[in-house]
Amino acid sequence: MLNEKIAAMLNDQINKELYSAYLYLDFADYYADEGLDGFANWYEVQAKEERDHAFMIRRYLLDNGHRVVLGAIAKPDKTFGSHLDPLEAGYAHEQYVTSLITDIYHEAFGQKDYRTMQFLDWFIKEQGEEETNADDMIKKFKLFGADAKGLYALNQELAARTYAPSTTGPAM
């Protein structure tokens, strides 16, 4: 069994990861509606990865003897005025998720819960990668997204992203 506070924080993180999936699905829907199917594809893949993160944490709680309690997932409430807006919202969201993971890690460290720290190590690394990816999307968009040809090429590039379940992360 884990410490109750840590278990509760992890239980809440399941909700945050599922919300992330929901949020990115909403981004995908926006881009699909705008005719940018590559951007939509990129965020569909991202949504699947976020769902996987939720499953990984769920599995960790179950494997440690905790009952998972699922809460309501909030409605994505962003409105977008430009193709850049979801990219910037995505970067800000990943920074927020990093802060949540860091908070759990901090609590685990304080309680000498080395098992949870080890479990979260993968998420710490993953958040670093996700922040970099989100920042790269913004940079590329600012460089190439302003003219039609550049936007077309970027959309083609993002269309190539494929989903594959993580082989390095914790078990689902």
Give 160's contacts (C-beta < 8 A, 6+ positions apart): 38
- State in angstroms the smallest separation of the CB of 67 from ligand FEO: 22
Which of 2, 18, 26, 53 binds ligand FEO (CB under 6 A)? It is 53
Largest CA-CA distance found in the chain, in angstroms, rounded = 56
Per-residue binder mask for ligand FEO (CB under 6 A), 63-102, x = binder: -------------------------------x--x-----
- State in angstroms the smallest separation of the CB of 94 from ligand FEO: 5
Task: Give me the residue label for tokens 């685990």.
Answer: 108
Judge whether 24 and 50 are in contact, CB under 8 Å.
yes
Report d(CA 7, CA 128) in Å as an integer. Answer: 23
Judge whether 45 and 163 are in contact, CB under 8 Å.
yes
Closer CB to ligand FEO, residue 20 or residue 116?
A: 20
Closer CB to ligand FEO, residue 107 or residue 130?
A: 130
20 lies in the site for ligand FEO, by CB under 6 A = yes
Which of 2, 11, 26, 50 binds ligand FEO (CB under 6 A)? It is 50
Judge whether 103 and 150 are in contact, CB under 8 Å.
no
What residues line the site for ligand FEO (CB under 6 A)?
Answer: 17, 20, 50, 53, 94, 97, 130
